Structure formats: C-alpha cells, structure tokens
Homo-oligomer: A and B are copies of this chain.
C-alpha cells in the first residue's frame, strides 16, 4: 500500500517532506570505470569500440560494420506492421508540428543612442542521440529527441544504439528514418558517448549529445560535458494527478500505473480533496495490478513510492504540487485551465480527464523528455532550444560610442582593467580630434 496523507492531520508536514526527499534511486558509482572507457576510446578509437562491443554486447564488429547500412535499415523497417508504421508517422507529424512553433526569432533594433543591438539563433552543427538497447529501447524517444534537432536545423544527426547479440529494434530504425537521422552506429554504453564526444576513425565527433541511458551512459555524459553540450541527466519518471471526486477511479488508477510500470523507482502521487475518491483510486490500482504485464514493477513502485494525499481544497493541492515540481502533472478537475494558472513548477501539464499522460508520451506533440527529481523548479523539457544557440549582436556608431563609451571607460577603471578602458578611449580620442 502506498502512503496515505491528509493535510489536516498533525505530522503532515514532516511526512510530506519525507516524501519529497525520499531517495528513490541507487546511483551505483561507476565513474572510475567510465573514465577508463572514455580514455580507451580517445586513445584507440574504433579498435576500442569494437573490443568493448564484443565484451558488453557479445557482438563482433569491424570498422565496416560499426555503422548500420542503409540496406540493413531498409530490411529491418520492412518488418514493421502497417499499423505500427502509421502510428509512428502520426506521432512524428504531431511532434514536428508542435516543435516548429518553438523556433525562436532573431531580433535586431536600434536604440535611442543609435546603437544597433540584437541576437541571432543558429543551430548546433552536429548532434548525437543515445538510444538505449534492450527493453528500454523506445522508438518514441527517438522521435522526441531527433525531431527537435532536425527542426532546429542540426546538419548532422547521429544515433548510437547498442544491439546486444546483434538484435536490432525495427521500430527504432523506422523512427530514426522518419525523423531524418543521418547516421546510425551499433555501439552503446559509455564507449558510445566517448565516440560521439571525441570522435573515432568512423564516427565524427558531435557538438551536443542527448538521450537517456543507464548509469554508465549518465556518468559518461557528465564527464564529457564541457567538451560537448548534453541534455539533462534524467532520473526515474514521476506523475502527480490532482483529481476531484467525480472522476472515474479506474482512469486515474491507470494514469498512476502508467508511470509506476516504467520502473520500480518511478513515483505516482494522487492529490485529491475527496478522501473517499482517494481510497477508491487506491482500490482500483490494486484491482488492476494482478493482470498487468508489468504488474510486479508497477506494484513495487506504487507500494514503495506511491502516495495519496487528501487536501482541504484544490488551492492546497496546487501548492503541494508546486513543492513537488512534478515531471508530469494531470489536472482531472472541472476547470483545469483555472487550476493550471496556480501551477508554478511542472514539466508538463495534462488538462482535464480526457488527457491521460500517455497521450503526451506518444502523440500529443509536446516533448516527453521532461525534468525529473524536482528539477522542474529550474529546468524545462527538451525542445528545439536545446539544439540552438544565441549569438548576441552589438554595433556602435561613432555617436553611440560617444554617448555610452565614457561610462564603459569609467567602469573599466573601477575594475582595474586598463586596456578595456583604453580600447574605448582611443576611439573617443579620434572622435574628439
């Protein structure tokens, strides 16, 4: 059974704080191993990749087979059913349509002093996307990472995906094809991250690496950060549902279970002003669990990290949700727009009872790569912005330099940076001559 809390009971604050700070994930310390793998790939390039792939993925590769060929991709994606293909294409089209709207605009203006100011956005030249192998090899994640990159205008987009025992996932390859991925390499783990960051004979280095991965991949991303850009380091998934009592308990139970089934460390929280509804949802969860394919995982997550919290009203529910800063927030209430205005921290909001969070995982349009572990307090989900960077622009005229240059020289002097000041004063001298 998950924890049941009531905001009117004494001890609530301490219990809620415990829920907020519960450590849900054991991060094994693999940093030393990862440092060794990165050094090896930097030193020996493809040879290291081939050796490590033989060791970890039981797969014999050569320089000729590191990349998945176009013909191989063609052969694999031919295996995908028409229904799966249509679903992927619908998802891709909707994700693209959403992300196109995120493209920021350049700006340029002249200020009252006559200075031209502005900025310009340009795409990252090359990006690498890590795709996990095995069970967590999700075609939807390929779309969610690759489409924003391509919308941003990234010229070269490479995927690395481990293929243990040589087994490829046709849906992942189809998603890559649909999203316009340029290169696919069958390597994984820290060695794939090292290859993307530093390059090998076969894999040219990229400027930005995104995508989820296990502890080794996460540690490798942390290590190469600075040499290349990385996206966030994702933690276990979370959902928080704020629901009034007139919802179908089974729907809300399934929404909670759709996070819980990801991972035993996932967290599902229901906040409701209706205690009886809270109990009904918990019962509905128990009723669904025995028949779920991933019931064991979902059950462990719900038992260890699940929570039902009864509040005085929706305002209190919103305030508690803001303290959680959940990755996914469902508002199953009569006026979700009004309640959403009270939400200050959340990765994604799903408004109303007809918007199960799973829609956002696949076909809604917004990105499903979202800030976990309360990081929605300070960060955002993946977007085209992750594949763009801003260059600021400034152009002085002699007149604008005359107007604002002296202040710059004054501040340079106050900071004991003489040459800074002289670079301005030399020009002002000329103007005043």
Contacts and interface: CB of A to CB of B under 8 A. Distances in A.
Interface of A: 83-84, 86-88, 90-91, 94, 97-98, 101-102, 104, 107, 109, 111, 115-117, 119-120, 122, 124-125, 135, 138-140, 171, 207-208, 226, 228-229, 233, 248, 250-251, 254-255, 257-258, 260-262, 288, 292-294, 298, 336, 340, 343-367, 370-371, 373, 375-381, 383, 385, 389-398, 400-401, 404-408, 410-412, 414-424, 426-427, 430
A358 B414 contact: no
A304 to B, nearest CB: 17
A235 B101 CA distance: 34
7 smallest beta-carbon distances between A and B, as pairs:
A229-B378, A366-B392, A351-B395, A254-B423, A87-B407, A358-B420, A87-B410
Given A257-B423, A362-B412, 11 more contacts: A87-B410, A91-B411, A117-B366, A208-B378, A257-B422, A262-B417, A352-B395, A356-B423, A358-B417, A361-B408, A366-B393
Contact of A354 (B122, B343, B349, B401): B401
Interface centre among A97, A115, A397 (most CB of B within 10 A): A115
Nearest to A390: B380
Contacts of A254: 419, 422-423, 426
Given A87-B407, A378-B228, A418-B294, A426 B250 contact: yes
B349 A424 contact: no
A418 B117 CA distance: 53
A345 B139 contact: no
B391 A90 contact: no
Nearest to A378: B229
A248 B421 CA distance: 17
B261 A418 contact: yes
Given A356-B424, A412-B358, A207 B378 contact: yes
A359 B408 contact: yes
Nearest to A83: B410
A101 B107 contact: yes
A373 B226 CA distance: 8
Contacts of A115: 364-365
B391 A355 contact: no
13 contacts: A115-B365, A139-B415, A336-B395, A343-B391, A349-B392, A349-B394, A353-B427, A354-B396, A358-B417, A359-B405, A361-B411, A365-B394, A366-B393
A87 B411 contact: yes
Contact of A411 (B349, B355, B363): B363
Contact of A383 (B83, B138, B378, B390): B390
A350 B417 CA distance: 19
Given A258-B423, A373-B226, A396 B352 contact: yes
A122 B303 CA distance: 33
Contacts of A117: 98, 364-366
A125 B344 contact: yes
Interface centre among A375, A411, A417 (most CB of B within 10 A): A411
Contact of A419 (B88, B294, B420): B294
Contacts of A349: 391-394
A376 to B, nearest CB: 7
A392 B376 CA distance: 11
B394 A366 contact: yes
B363 A419 contact: no
A71 to B, nearest CB: 24
Interface centre among A140, A378, A383, A415 (most CB of B within 10 A): A378
A426 B354 CA distance: 10
A122 B345 contact: yes
Contacts of A228: 378
Contacts of A350: 394-395
Contacts of A336: 395
Nearest to A412: B358
Nearest to A88: B411
